[in-house]
Amino acid sequence: MSEIDIELENKEIVKRYKALLRSCNSDITREDKGLIRKAFNLAVIAHQDVRRKSGEPYIFHPIAVAQIVAKDIGLGATSIACALLHDVVEDTDYTLDDMEKMFNPKIRQIIDGLTKISGLAEQDISIQAENFRKMLLTLSDDIRVILIKLADRLHNMQTLDSMARHKQQKIGSETLYIYAPLAHRLGLYSIKTELEDLGLKYTEPEIYRDIVQQLNETKKARVQYIQRFTKPIKERLKSNGLKCSIKGRPKSIFSICKKIKSQGVSFDEVYDKFAVRIIIESEIGNEKSDCWKVYSLITDNYRPNPDRLRDWISTPKANGYESLHTTVMGPIGKWVEVQIRTKRMDEVAEKGYAAHWKYKQKGVTKEGNLEEWVNQIRELLENPETNAVDFLEEFKLNLFSKEIFVFTPNGDLRTLPKGASVLDFAFDIHSQLGATCLGCKVNGRLVPLSHKLISGDQVEVITSKNQKPKKAWLNFVISAKAKNKIKSSLKDAKKAIAEEGKEILERKLKHLKLSFSDSVINELCSYFKYKNSLDLFFDVGSGVLTNSMLKEFVVNKNSWYQYLKSKIYRKTNKQKEQKEEVKYDTLVFGPTEEKLDFTYSKCCTPIPGDSVFGFTTIREGIKIHRHDCPNAVRLQSNFAYRILKAKWIDSNNKESIALLNIKGIDRVGLVNEVTQILSTNLKVNIQSINISSLDGIFDGLITVVIEDKQSLDSVIKTLKKAEGITSVKRKFKSR
């Protein structure tokens, strides 16, 4: 091991600290610099002699987090100081009281919030979900906690190479599942994009490397094309007195990957791999008209695609994002996305909440959707009884959802997630309005509560005092607020019925000469297969559990244990028999390469040779998933403690099912040729084939029985060579 040059490291620490100060905004005061210096000095002392996994001094990490907080998010001195100190209380002997004495109560509060949520990556899903909930609770105190946490996560992702592969997989999945959507919702687009790209790098490294390589190979041609495309635009804007800067940027690696997967196309078939951003200098009062003027001048040169116009200037996104997007046909028949915005809009787009707040303080940006969203989260968190895991799932659904814009009868604009029902609208207006909603009128026409809204709808809610939330409502609401309120109301109603049921059961047991004790209640729960006593009491109160059923329990009380034992024995033997039928000895688990019983998951239908992992379920043992399974990110993020490393050691003489999606230009005899290739040439058994044709284009699904991934790759490669076939992709089953 080479000797560490302490003097050289100290010079590097000072260099990085000076770079941090240069990243601070221009209106930083001498007092602010003093606060940052004091925090830096303490962090250096607290973390001295401590090193990261990579071997570098630990102090590099808090400096880097502070740099992101200052430069990329644009926060002030207090946040920068907290970023420098964010690990001090958790990792050293310094306490929160020390923070308050040495600095101030606000810094103590923020560091306390950061320390509380440091366990977000804990093993237990309930702990993880609860800690995420704690993080969101800091919205009530100070949103800077979440912004600093995002900066911390970004730097951890940037330096993840030194971690073990399974840790990379888990942290990358968690980042894609929670942190990237959260950055998106807070308007931090540059951070969101980098988190997504890095998340992909560590969850699907082969796909990531492939896209990066192809982007690098096409970089020169892309730069030349952007210069050719922007040259006439620059001249037109200049001649019309508009000052601007024009940037060409490639589409993010993650979004290219997403498009390849969702559309079933190759890298070359992704037509909008880059975008041109035009940032204009404009007075606040002229921003909207200037952006539309730029749009007019661009479309004088290049023909726009009318279906690809997005106006987020008239109606900004919920996170405050404002921009005008259009896609135009550029030279040599290539589509180019053009984003038009002002300097202020660009800063809000890149720095999100911090810039939004800055301009709001100056009276430039009105209080709008971002504050509404923060208030909604606070409202969601008010109910302490909500299951933390359910909360995490529902919150996640609303993080990245696309938006629609609908109107109240008075013409007020409301933003809802795409796919929202009229009942979501009612709960969005007010919880009580949603709870008593009897029906709705959309554009003057009466519609059912399950009716899905589209942008531009005007909605009137009809209520009744006698109406109460119903369980069926959960089937068609999608907003976290509506789901949370309905579940809370149903739970309250269930508790009230259960209380009555408890009293009824006590009287009935007394009549049957049984004591109302914990042991008897447990026996009843086991006998009637209830998860807990609340469900038991509820069914008694609802009349589901009748007198005759209770009498049957008393009659069988002494013999039912033996009955249950024999039933469990039979069930276990049956499971063993089933497992023996599907048991393979080609897959081994964990560092000791142990052979265990498992079954294949139906969501991604793995085959021998696939890159897979094991997931330990509660009732069905180990399930095998592919690493690129649609559910992989969610499972690895939320249930990392249940993930088992899996490895193929032998894949001979095993048959598996694979579903192939083939597309191309239709012609006579195509189906016969495909079956000939598979059955005769490749000796592959076809389980089913379904091909449909429309206007000369065919789209089909073929289920084949193959031995391993190598065999499948050979099938795909051979089919692609057939005349007329343009695409052959392995397809997932729908979730």
pLDDT band (50, 70, 90) for residue 693: confident
Closest by CA to 230, choosing from 361, 104, 330, is: 330
User: So what's the pLDDT on residue 733?
Assistant: 59
Least confident range from 225-229, 243-247, 318-322, 356-360: namely: 356-360
Reduced to 3 states (helix: H, G, I; strand: E, B; else coil), residue 226 is helix
Which residue has better confidence, 375 or 210?
Answer: 210
Residue 705 one-letter amino acid: V
Q: How many CA atoms lie within 13 A of 525 on its CB side?
A: 15
Least confident range from 251-265, 389-403, 684-698: namely: 389-403
Contact 586, 606 (CB under 8 A): no
User: So what's the pLDDT on residue 580?
Assistant: 42
DSSP secondary-structure letter at 475?
G
Write the CB contacts of 356 (distance below 8 Å, at least 6 apart in sequence). Answer: 187, 319, 320, 348, 365, 370
Strand pairing category for 445-447 and 612-616? unpaired
Which residue has better confidence, 293 or 371?
Answer: 293
Closest by CA to 585, choosing from 563, 551, 608, is: 608
Answer yes or no: is pLDDT of 651 > 50.
Answer: no
* Range 180-184, long-range pairs (CB < 8 A, 24+ positions): 181/396, 181/399, 181/400, 182/146, 182/150, 182/399, 183/150, 183/352, 184/319, 184/399, 184/400
Closest by CA to 152, choosing from 90, 67, 94, is: 67
* Model pTM score: 0.65
Write the CB contacts of 142 (distance below 8 Å, at least 6 apart in sequence). Answer: 106, 109, 110, 113
Answer yes or no: is pLDDT of 1 > 60.
Answer: no
User: So what's the pLDDT on residue 296?
Assistant: 94
Distance CA 38, CA 31 (A): 11
Q: How far does Cα 229 stand from its chain's mean position?
A: 35
Average pLDDT (467-484) is 86
User: So what's the pLDDT on residue 578?
Assistant: 46
Closest by CA to 691, choosing from 714, 719, 711, is: 719
Domains of the chain by start residue, with CATH:
6-203 (1.10.3210.10), 213-361 (3.30.460.10), 565-648 (no CATH), 656-730 (3.30.70.260)
Q: Residue with structure tokens 């430039």?
A: 364
The CB density around residue 239, as the number of other CB atoms within 10 Å, is 9
Closest by CA to 723, choosing from 661, 664, 672, is: 664
The answer to whether the Cα torsion of 191, 357, 322, 182 is positive or negative is: positive
pLDDT band (50, 70, 90) for residue 648: confident
User: So what's the pLDDT on residue 579?
Assistant: 43
Tens digit of each residue's pLDDT (9 = 90 or more) over 110-137: 888 887 655 444 444 445 555 566 656 6
User: So what's the pLDDT on residue 324?
Assistant: 94
Reduced to 3 states (helix: H, G, I; strand: E, B; else coil), residue 613 is strand
pLDDT band (50, 70, 90) for residue 358: low
The CB density around residue 145, as the number of other CB atoms within 10 Å, is 27
Degrees, nearest 5: CA angle 262-264-265: 115
Tens digit of each residue's pLDDT (9 = 90 or more) over 272-299: 777 899 999 998 889 999 999 999 999 9
Distance CA 84, CA 40 (A): 6
User: So what's the pLDDT on residue 136?
Assistant: 63
* Range 307-310, long-range pairs (CB < 8 A, 24+ positions): 308/337
User: So what's the pLDDT on residue 677?
Assistant: 82
Average pLDDT (288-313) is 91
Average pLDDT (211-231) is 89
Closest by CA to 181, choosing from 483, 484, 402, 390, is: 402
User: So what's the pLDDT on residue 423?
Assistant: 94
Distance CA 611, CA 646 (A): 8
pLDDT band (50, 70, 90) for residue 101: very high
Average pLDDT (250-270) is 83
* CA max distance for the chain: 97
User: So what's the pLDDT on residue 319?
Assistant: 72
Strand pairing category for 612-616 and 643-648? antiparallel
DSSP secondary-structure letter at 15?
H
Which residue has better confidence, 179 or 649?
Answer: 179
- The two tokens of residue 611 are 């890159």
Which residues are catalytic, by number? 90-91
Alpha-carbon distances of 475 from 249, 446, 468, 469, 486, rounded to whole Å: 42, 20, 16, 12, 11
| Averaged confidence pLDDT in the chain | 81
Contact 702, 729 (CB under 8 A): no
Closest by CA to 203, choosing from 250, 268, 267, 254, is: 254
User: In the chain, pLDDT over 70 holds for what percent of residues?
Assistant: 83
Least confident range from 275-289, 352-366, 439-453, 608-622: namely: 352-366
Closest by CA to 398, choosing from 490, 480, 308, is: 480
- The two tokens of residue 256 are 């290219």
Contact 110, 78 (CB under 8 A): yes
Tens digit of each residue's pLDDT (9 = 90 or more) over 484-498: 888 888 888 888 888
DSSP secondary-structure letter at 677?
I
Write the CB contacts of 598 (distance below 8 Å, at least 6 apart in sequence). Answer: 584, 587, 614, 621, 622, 623, 624
Angle between helices 189-203 and 343-351 (to 10 degrees): 40
The CB density around residue 403, as the number of other CB atoms within 10 Å, is 16
Q: Which helix (H) or strand (E) holds 571?
A: helix 560-582
Average pLDDT (132-148) is 69
Which residue has better confidence, 658 or 304?
Answer: 304
Q: How far does Cα 56 stand from its chain's mean position?
A: 31
Task: Let me know how long the chain is.
Answer: 735
User: So what's the pLDDT on residue 360?
Assistant: 58
DSSP lists the bridge partners of residue 658 as 704
- The two tokens of residue 687 are 């389980």
Contact 230, 244 (CB under 8 A): no
For the ranges 300-304, 642-646, 693-697, the maximum mean pLDDT occurs at 300-304
Backbone angles phi, psi at 327, to 5 degrees: -120, 125
User: So what's the pLDDT on residue 577?
Assistant: 46
The answer to whether the Cα torsion of 140, 142, 147, 149 is positive or negative is: negative
